[in-house]
Chain A
Amino acid sequence: MNTYTLPNEKGHFGIFGGRFVPETLMKAVIELGEAYDDAKKDPSFQAEIQRLLKDYVGRETPLYFAENLTKYAGGARIFLKREDLNHTGAHKINNAIGQALLAVRMGKRKIVAETGAGQHGVATATVCALLNLDCIIFMGEEDIKRQALNVFRMELLGAKVVSVTSGSATLKDAVNEALRYWVANVDDTHYLLGSVMGPHPFPQMVRDFQSVIGKETKEQFHKLEGKLPDAVVACIGGGSNAMGMFHPFIENEEVKLYGVEAAGRGVDTEYHAASLTKGKPGVLHGSLMYLLQDQNGQIQEAHSISAGLDYPGVGPEHSYLKEIGRANYQSITDKEALDAFQLLSKMEGIIPALESSHAVAFAVKLAAEMKTTESIVICLSGRGDKDVDAVKNRLEGEN
């Protein structure tokens, strides 16, 4: 029943996606696409990924029945897909391993990457340390302040972290600088993009590397419950953990797919990152996707308490799934996410990343509206250790 085969050979998901990059990068993205298609079919490449995911990352990650949270919500049974238990503390390493192995296969031993919260930067720096690759990470100055510990982690792992001061000095601007760096160093450098965005083949490739999340979830849930979950919920910045969770379920139409964007201070203020809820289609960073932009097509700054969701666009496949109505996109405010951060910590003894807290917050609301015989799986994309300082400051500031 393999009817969902997107993207097409040009990297399009309906009108979305594509390869909107400067000509200097076209050779590199075409070669990357060919190399990826080739690697995908190579059992030894797949085996190497599997080996590292198992022995190095610690997969598979558990699917955990959150009994206390379920009781609290008072409706559907809530399960957590524990991506927070991966080595480096988030789902980002699933993709970093795949792409770094591909870079080595292509003979590229220099890696450039962007990072928002620092989770993708840490994952990339980690894999570069493992495979002995040069690593340079672009990170917004604002995010460097918010995530000082992750900056130190990356440096400890041998990466060079470059502060980006242009624009809003957050994830969007880090991507701009990483792209500029790649344009100038394309011969020997691989751009290890961290989400399901950018020019083809990135949205497809990152999704495939992250699909291990959804595949495991499907099998684990079946083993536990003998069926499919009724809904899966994941947070969305660029959308990689959500796409990894959603993709194996796309053809199971009885499974509802919920993506949760950051509403910041509210979607009716100027301070949010809800690209699918409030944006419109446009072109940025190599792809046609939903974007926060003004009436003249200038990209607007995104705002969220969570650095990892602070991005004004969303991957082209999510844009497409919204357009065809297959996935449902909601948003959660900073305040609600902070509450969920504390709730999950107290209820289950699990401190979630602020990004993942958005998914938790929405899932609790959703569960309350569902039957007790139904089930929800939340993709708990990362752990919250990195956010403890920021949350402490925020909560003390409120008191």
Chain B
Amino acid sequence: MNRLEQTFTILKEDQRKAFVPYLMAGDGGLDCLADRLVLLEKYGATAIEVGVPFSDPVADGPTIQQAGIRALEKGTTLRGIIAEIEKARKVVTAPIILMTYLNPIYCYGISEFVRDISNAGVDACIIPDLPVEEEDLIAPQLEEAQVELIRLVTLTTPIERIKTIASKGKGFLYTVTIKGITGTRNEFDSELHQFLKQVKEVSTIPVLAGFGVSNEQQALELTTNCDGVIVGSKIVELFDKNELAEMEKLMSVFKQESKIL
């Protein structure tokens, strides 16, 4: 069982919800990545999603686009990020999930990429522009290296397709809560709760909701029908503004619910 599966098994036993923050590697300089990972773990991150900046992030809204541009301007590369994660692994125990568009991986070389992230202690990958139809390009290698491929389902995914996608994964199912790109939202689609219930029913692995989650209330509301939330743009924004107290507060949302305080 890999680190991610273990984490979710414990979480389930404790009946706690998952809080997975996302940060853009290289935003603020790559040398602060390790410190930020430590901080997110301290604030209670269940797992941490590390974003790789890409020149053409079509699934991302303005906040993450801008963070990506800042990171690229500081010369951030996938190679550099993997090296930093390898260093940070000595002090961070939370599962690390690398989120990257496909092209930086393709350019790196798929086998080399899988080998290097596995050695660096990355537990899972999210590739937003790799649907299940195309995943043979990398999924077999990841499986062999015991790095999970986290798959996404969305409000537009038909139920039969959700079943197929859910049956492939081991880590968790990433449920996109909005029809649209990443970024904070004031409200969610009315059909969302029904959708989350449906996904939860057909999925044998934990279901996490992400895209557009920006405050405690949304996190609590969403997790009535799923196992946790992923928060991206808001965390990126708080790091950029250096509002760490606010971040700690947001990330404590599930702590009072915990039965093992």
Measured CB to CB, the residues of A under 8 A from B are 10, 18-28, 166-167, 172, 176, 179-180, 183-187, 280-286, 288, 291, 293, 295-299
Contact = CB atoms under 8 A, between A and B. Distances in A.
B58 A10 contact: no
B59 A20 contact: no
B55 A298 contact: yes
Given A296-B77, A297-B106, A24 B154 contact: yes
B236 to A, nearest CB: 17
A283 B154 contact: no
A183 B179 contact: yes
Nearest to B165: A23
A233 B194 CA distance: 55
B79 A23 contact: no
B107 A282 contact: yes
B153 interface: yes
Contacts of A180: 58-59, 61, 180-181
B176 interface: yes
Contact of B59 (A22, A172, A283): A22
B22 interface: no
A19 B180 CA distance: 18
Given A10-B133, A26-B157, A27-B156, 15 more contacts: A20-B131, A176-B58, A183-B59, A184-B179, A184-B180, A186-B156, A186-B179, A280-B107, A282-B107, A283-B101, A293-B103, A296-B108, A297-B104, A298-B54, A299-B55
Contacts of B55: 167, 298-299
A238 to B, nearest CB: 15
Interface in B32-68: 54-59, 61, 65
B130 A20 contact: yes
Most buried by A among B55, B57, B128: B55
A284 B103 contact: yes
A20 B77 contact: no
B58 A23 contact: no
A295 B107 contact: yes
Give the size range of B's interface with the partner: 35 or more
A133 to B, nearest CB: 21
B127 to A, nearest CB: 9
A282 B181 CA distance: 22
Contacts of A284: 56, 103
Nearest to B104: A297
B72 interface: yes
30 contacts: A10-B134, A18-B133, A19-B131, A19-B134, A20-B102, A20-B130, A22-B58, A22-B154, A23-B153, A23-B156, A23-B176, A24-B154, A24-B180, A28-B156, A166-B65, A167-B56, A180-B58, A180-B59, A183-B58, A186-B179, A280-B107, A282-B106, A283-B101, A283-B102, A283-B103, A285-B58, A297-B104, A297-B105, A297-B106, A298-B55
B152 interface: yes
A176 B54 CA distance: 12
B181 A176 contact: no
B156 A282 contact: no
Interface in B114-157: 128-131, 133-134, 151-157
B58 A27 contact: no
A180 to B, nearest CB: 5
A285 B253 CA distance: 37
Interface of B: 54-59, 61, 65, 72, 77-79, 101-108, 128-131, 133-134, 151-158, 161, 165, 176, 179-181
Contact of B131 (A23, A185, A186): A23
Closest 6 CB pairs of A and B: A297-B107, A184-B180, A297-B104, A298-B55, A24-B154, A296-B77
Most buried by B among A19, A26, A167: A26
A283 B134 CA distance: 12
Given A20-B102, A297-B103, A172 B56 contact: yes
B72 to A, nearest CB: 7
A280 B106 CA distance: 11
A281 B131 contact: no
Given A293-B107, A297-B108, A21 B72 contact: no
Contacts of B102: 20, 283
A183 B152 contact: no
A298 B104 contact: yes
Contacts of B107: 280, 282, 293, 295-297
B65 to A, nearest CB: 7
Nearest to A166: B65
A202 B57 CA distance: 20
Contact of A22 (B103, B129, B133, B158): B129
A71 to B, nearest CB: 46
A176 B107 CA distance: 20
Contacts of A27: 156-158, 161
Contacts of A291: 103
B178 to A, nearest CB: 8
Most buried by A among B78, B104, B106, B157: B106
A21 B165 CA distance: 15
Nearest to B101: A283
A299 B56 contact: yes
A297 B157 contact: no
Most buried by B among A18, A20, A187, A285: A20
